[in-house]
Amino acid sequence: MESKAKTQSPLQEKETQAAQVDIWKYVFAFTPMAVLKCAIELQISETVESHGGSITLPELSVALHCSSSALHRIMRYLIYHGFFKQTRIIRDDESSLCYTQTPHSRLLLKDGMAGLILLESSPVMLAPWHGLSGRAMLKGSYPFEAAHGGVDVWKYAAANPDHSKLINDAMACHARLAVSAIVDRYPEAFEGISSLVDVGGGDGTALNALVKACPWIRGVNYDLPHVISVAPHREGVEHVGGDMFKMVPKGDAAFLMWVLHDWSDEECIQILRNCMEAIPRDKGKVIIVEAVVEVGEGFDDYSEVRTVLHMVMTAHTERGKERTCKEWRHLLNEAGLTKHTQKHIKAIVSVIEAYP
């Protein structure tokens, strides 16, 4: 009897096999985040670093008070993905296999990108992803609010100090990376500025780094009162609590980094108008540090991450989004900022300078 089953061409079989391999990766796509969170919580990178940059499995097991069997599995996974290397070294005339740091593993240190991983892998931030399909429905709910009793991420943080600290630590983590990139690749942005207001500046990490790099600047770190209340003292930085939707403190320039993408166009326009009222008409400017989504040509190493940020905004905010050049131009024009420039700095963010 002749089979009715459809046969695939060699090319179709190859494509199907490749698709299955990819889907298997998505089936277990949560694994990298979970293992990195585990490595950070166990302080594996700090422990390797404290042992001179190399350590054996028995030494690591003792130092971390961990099962050597479980630790071996974790380290094998991390090595496969470029976090740590395993090398053979000679100690006391004996050869030993040791784990050593890599550029990836060093980013798991406290002053690397650990804060971002710990925030996004927290139960609070993971729960909304399970409601993403609801957001897509015509009468759907917002995932974060649906997962957390109807409050948005900011009200939740205000009522939960531990989660607020996770947010502040993550934003400080991003601030160190972004400010370093700006200062190294576009220091001209801060020339001629004697006072700078960091609107939504968190614990002041970004402004502290800017003031150190540009000591002629007097910094004002402006954020919600519950954020400012736990912000550490920083030389050259004045902490001020308030609401950016109502007013912004006076300064030569207003600085907004990873703030506007959390809000709708209307809310962004209100924030920008308040910033414009706070700066001098003749020489003031608003410095915006945000992802700029390219369309068509112009993709770079961070293009995929920016598409992921689109989905993060969808899951975690009610009206936030990443924007294209055209969308940024619309916001600035509506806010009354008549001209602007945009500078790519080989980072996930770009620098937009807008003028009255």
The catalytic residues are 261
| Pairwise CA distance, residues 271 & 222, whole Å | 13
In one-letter notation, the amino acid at residue 343 is: K
| Pairwise CA distance, residues 332 & 337, whole Å | 5
CB under 8 Å to 10, separation ≥6 — which residues?
none
Q: Please tell me the chain's helix, strand, coil percentages from 3-state DSSP, rounded to the nearest 5.
A: 50, 15, 35
Q: What is the 3-state secondary structure (H, E, C) of 215-267?
A: CCCEEEEEECHHHHCCCCCCCCEEEEECCCCCCCCCCCEEEEECCHHHCCHHH
| Pairwise CA distance, residues 352 & 292, whole Å | 9
Residue 198 has phi, psi (to 5 degrees) of -90, 105
- Partners of 95 in beta bridges: 90
CA pseudo-torsion sign 16, 18, 20, 23: negative
Q: To which H or E segment does residue 181 belong?
A: helix 161-185
Helix (H, G, I), strand (E, B) or coil at 110: coil
CA-closest candidate to residue 48, choices 7, 93, 109: 109
| Pairwise CA distance, residues 7 & 183, whole Å | 59
Q: Locate tokens 């470029």: which residue?
A: 82
Long-range contacts of 211-215 (CB under 8 A, 24+ apart): 211/235, 211/236, 211/237, 212/236, 213/179, 213/183, 213/187, 214/183, 214/187, 214/190
Bridge-based pairing of strands 218-223 and 195-199 is parallel
| Pairwise CA distance, residues 336 & 296, whole Å | 28
